[in-house]
A and B are shown apart, each in its own frame.
Chain A
Amino acid sequence: MADLSIAMRQAGDVAILLPAGFINAHTVREFEAALEGLVRDGQYTILLNCRDLHYISSAGLGAIMGLIETVRDHQGDILLSDLQPNVFTIFDTLGFTQLYRVFGDEDQALAAVAPERKG
């Protein structure tokens, strides 16, 4: 099995990224390229559905941090959903749960941004 695979789909104007496996210093370029590709295409609201993400190191957190200001400058955001306990602990330990909106599942995340996108 590859260390990381990334699926993508679209829900309205929200781009949903589904990283599966491990994001570390070895795989982070692939993850970063996927995020950067979305932003380059004008997709500024990105939902990271982490249901199959087993692990993320600081390299992966850095990739998200590197784009958060850009997407917010364009009235978008990076949202997180379906975090496994280990992954949640990493975000929470660093205080990132205050910086990012974290949802229990994808539907909750999409429901939260729907009014914002309409408005």
Chain B
Amino acid sequence: MSVAVSMEPAEFRLVIPSQTRYLNLVTGLAKRASLVAGLDDATSAKVSIAVDEAVTNVILHAYHGEGEHSVELELRFTEEALEIHILHSGQGLRGDQIVLPDPKEYIKHPRKGGLGLLLMSRFMDEVRFKADEASGRNECCLIKKLD
């Protein structure tokens, strides 16, 4: 018996409480999803790190470590890319507020923090932030192309 595989874009969602104990679950999912999308093992590991950093930012900064909120992950599989959208109702971040640290300066003046966004931008093809003031929903979109 053969099973027809739809090539239509597919997507699904996972909602987790805003607690760091679920990070390992989320990064495991991101890695598996990347493999399903056709990315190789090393690239899938990079995607999982980027997702870890994005979800950690939401939990610790957007929600200030409060564990009673929700973080929604939407995974979209298209022919061109794997898109991972991370949605929340916490404090938003716009693209023009992002300042990436310069790695060379960072090494000269080591300090804690500031590296998560840099890892996200290095490991993904696109990182976008959107804030919807009307709905109060905010989004971080991570895109990895499949070429």
- Contact, CB under 8 Å: A94 / B106: yes
- Neighbour of B118 across the interface among A69, A86, A94, CB < 8 A: A94
Assuming A25-B56, A55-B27, A57-B49, is B107 touching A98 (CB within 8 A)? yes
Assuming A26-B21, A90-B49, is B112 touching A65 (CB within 8 A)? yes
A3 to B53, CA, bound (A): 17
A61 to B42, CA, bound (A): 19
User: For residue B110, which residue of chain A has the nearest CB?
Assistant: A65
- Contact, CB under 8 Å: A95 / B27: no
A85 to B43, CA, bound (A): 11
Confirm or deny: B95 has a beta carbon within 8 angstroms of a beta carbon on chain A.
no
- Contact, CB under 8 Å: A58 / B119: yes
User: For residue B103, which residue of chain A has the nearest CB?
Assistant: A95
- Contact, CB under 8 Å: A24 / B27: yes
- Contact, CB under 8 Å: B60 / A93: no
A63 to B111, CA, bound (A): 9
Contacts across chains A and B counted by CB atoms under 8 Å? 77
Assuming A93-B122, A94-B106, is B112 touching A66 (CB within 8 A)? yes
Confirm or deny: A59 has a beta carbon within 8 angstroms of a beta carbon on chain B.
yes
- Contact, CB under 8 Å: A57 / B116: yes
Confirm or deny: A31 has a beta carbon within 8 angstroms of a beta carbon on chain B.
no
Kindly provide the distance from the CB of B142 to the nearest chain A CB, expressed in whole angstroms.
14
- Contact, CB under 8 Å: A25 / B60: yes
A26 to B24, CA, bound (A): 9
Kindly provide the distance from the CB of B20 to the nearest chain A CB, expressed in whole angstroms.
4
Confirm or deny: B39 has a beta carbon within 8 angstroms of a beta carbon on chain A.
no
The 5 closest A-B pairs by CB, nearest first: A26-B20, A58-B115, A62-B112, A58-B116, A95-B103
**What are 21 pairs between A and B in contact, CB < 8 Å?**
A3-B24, A22-B27, A24-B23, A25-B23, A26-B21, A55-B27, A55-B48, A55-B49, A57-B119, A58-B115, A58-B119, A59-B56, A62-B113, A63-B112, A65-B111, A68-B110, A86-B42, A89-B45, A90-B119, A94-B119, A95-B107
Interface residues, chain A, with chain B CB atoms under 8 Å away = 3, 22, 24-26, 55, 57-59, 61-63, 65-66, 68-69, 85-86, 89-90, 93-96, 98-99
| Beyond known contacts A25-B20, A95-B103: 14 more, CB 8 A cutoff | A24-B23, A25-B56, A55-B52, A57-B53, A57-B56, A57-B119, A58-B113, A65-B112, A85-B42, A89-B46, A90-B119, A94-B106, A94-B122, A95-B106
